[in-house]
Amino acid sequence: MKKLKYGAVTLLFATAGLFLAACSTTSSPNKATTSKTETTKDASSFTYAISGNPASLNPINTSDRWGLTVTNMIYSPLVAIETDGTQKNILADSIEAAKDGLSVTVKLKQTIKWSDGEKLTADDVVFTYTQKAKKENGNADKLWIGGKPITIQKVDDYTVKFILPEPSAAAVNNIATETFIIPKHIYKDVTDFSVKELPVAPVGTGPYKLKTYKTGEYLTFEANKTYFGGTPAIKNVTLRIIENNDTAKVALQKGEVDAAVVLPSAISDLDSHDITVYPYSETRVGYLGLNTKSDALTNVKVRQAVLYALDKSELNQAAYLNKKYYSTPNSFLPPSNPFATESVNTYKTNTQKSKALLAEAGVSDLKLNIGFSATDPAQTVQATLIQQQLKKAGITVTLEGGDGTAIYSELKKPGSTKYNLFLGGYIMGNDPDLYAALFKTGGSSNYFQTNNAKTDQLFDKAAVETDPTKRKALYDQLQKEVADDARIYPIVDNKKILAVNNRIANVKKANLVPIYTFEDLSKLTIK
In a domain, 24, yes or no: no
Whether residue 354 sits in one domain with residue 272: no
In a domain, 92, yes or no: yes
Angle between helices 300-308 and 351-360 (to 10 degrees): 160
What are 159's strand-pairing partners?
Answer: 107, 156
Q: Looking at the predicted structure, is the pLDDT value of residue 249 above 50?
A: yes
Q: Looking at the predicted structure, is the pLDDT value of residue 521 above 70?
A: yes
CA dist., res. 265 & res. 24, Å (int): 7
What are 326's strand-pairing partners?
Answer: 494
pLDDT at 172: 79
- Cβ contact 492:320 at 8 Å: yes
Please write the tens of the pLDDT for every residue from 299-319: 999 999 999 999 999 999 999
CA dist., res. 397 & res. 383, Å (int): 9
11 or 406, higher pLDDT = 406
Whether residue 132 sits in one domain with residue 248: no
Q: How many CA atoms lie within 13 A of 355 on its CB side?
A: 8
448 or 431, higher pLDDT = 448
SS3 73: helix
pLDDT at 38: 38
Whether residue 502 sits in one domain with residue 487: no
327-338 CB burial, b ≥16 within 10 A, e <16: bebbbbbbbebe
Residue 396: pLDDT band (50, 70, 90) is: very high
Q: What is the DSSP secondary-structure string of 160-222?
A: EEEE-SS--HHHHHHTTBSPBP--HHHHTT----SSSS-SS----SSSEEEEEEETTTEEEEE
385-402 CB burial, b ≥16 within 10 A, e <16: bbbebbeebbbebeebbe
Whether residue 227 sits in one domain with residue 304: no
Q: What percentage of the chain carries pLDDT values higher than 90?
A: 76
Rounded to an integer, the average pLDDT of 317-335 is 94
Please write the tens of the pLDDT for every residue from 21-73: 223 223 333 333 334 433 345 778 999 999 999 999 999 999 899 999 999 99
Q: How many CA atoms lie within 13 A of 161 on its CB side?
A: 11
Q: Looking at the predicted structure, is the pLDDT value of residue 154 above 80?
A: yes
Query: Which of 4-13, 139-148, 160-169, 387-396 shows the lowest mean pLDDT across its residues?
Result: 4-13
Query: Which of 80-94, 151-165, 180-194, 448-462 shows the lowest mean pLDDT across its residues?
Result: 80-94
Whether residue 424 sits in one domain with residue 455: yes
Rounded to an integer, the average pLDDT of 241-252 is 94
CA dist., res. 263 & res. 278, Å (int): 12
Which run of H or E residues covers position 79? Answer: strand 79-81
In a domain, 48, yes or no: no
Query: Which of 20-34, 165-179, 243-257, 292-306 shows the lowest mean pLDDT across its residues?
Result: 20-34
Whether residue 227 sits in one domain with residue 148: no
Whether residue 402 sits in one domain with residue 342: yes
Whether residue 400 sits in one domain with residue 302: yes
CATH number for position 325 = 3.10.105.10
According to the 3-state scheme, what is the secondary structure of 447-492? CCCCCCHHHHHHHHHHHHCCCHHHHHHHHHHHHHHHHHHCCEEEEE
Residue 496: pLDDT band (50, 70, 90) is: very high
In a domain, 511, yes or no: yes
Residue 335 has what DSSP assignment?
Answer: T
Query: For residue 189, what are the contacts with CB-CB under 8 A and spacing of at least 6?
Result: none
Based on the structure, what is the number of domains in the chain? 3
- Cβ contact 228:520 at 8 Å: no
CATH number for position 118 = 3.90.76.10
In a domain, 20, yes or no: no
Whether residue 224 sits in one domain with residue 347: no
pLDDT at 272: 66
Q: What percentage of the chain carries pLDDT values higher than 70?
A: 92
516 lies in which domain range?
A: 208-280+496-526
- How far is the CA of 67 from the CAs of 137, 158, 240, in angstroms? 16, 28, 14
In a domain, 30, yes or no: no
Rounded to an integer, the average pLDDT of 241-263 is 94
In a domain, 55, yes or no: no
Q: Which of 152, 186, 220 is at the close of a domain?
A: 186
CA dist., res. 162 & res. 288, Å (int): 37
Q: Which of 155, 186, 217 is at the close of a domain?
A: 186
Neighbours of 523 (CB within 10 A): 20
Residue 235: pLDDT band (50, 70, 90) is: very high
Neighbours of 226 (CB within 10 A): 15
- How far is the CA of 421 from the CAs of 20, 88, 234, 271, 416, in angstroms? 22, 38, 44, 39, 12
CATH number for position 243 = 3.40.190.10
Q: Which of 186, 220, 237 is at the close of a domain?
A: 186
Looking at every residue in the chain, the average pLDDT score rounds to: 90
Whether residue 221 sits in one domain with residue 171: no
Whether residue 411 sits in one domain with residue 355: yes
Residue 136 has what DSSP assignment?
Answer: G
Q: Which segments of 361-439 does DSSP mark as H helices, in order? A: 377-391, 404-411, 436-439
Whether residue 503 sits in one domain with residue 386: no
Please write the tens of the pLDDT for every residue from 75-130: 999 999 877 767 899 999 999 999 888 999 999 999 999 999 999 999 999 999 99
In a domain, 455, yes or no: yes
Which run of H or E residues covers position 96? Answer: strand 92-97
Q: Looking at the predicted structure, is the pLDDT value of residue 168 above 90?
A: no
In degrees, to the nearest 5, what angle opens at C-alpha 502 toward C-alphas 498 and 508?
Answer: 55
- How far is the CA of 30 from the CAs of 317, 417, 498, in angstroms? 19, 42, 11
CA dist., res. 105 & res. 96, Å (int): 5
Q: Looking at the predicted structure, is the pLDDT value of residue 190 above 90?
A: yes
- Cβ contact 293:81 at 8 Å: no
- Give the alpha-carbon dihedral of 14, 20, 26, 31, to 10 degrees: 0
Rounded to an integer, the average pLDDT of 5-16 is 37
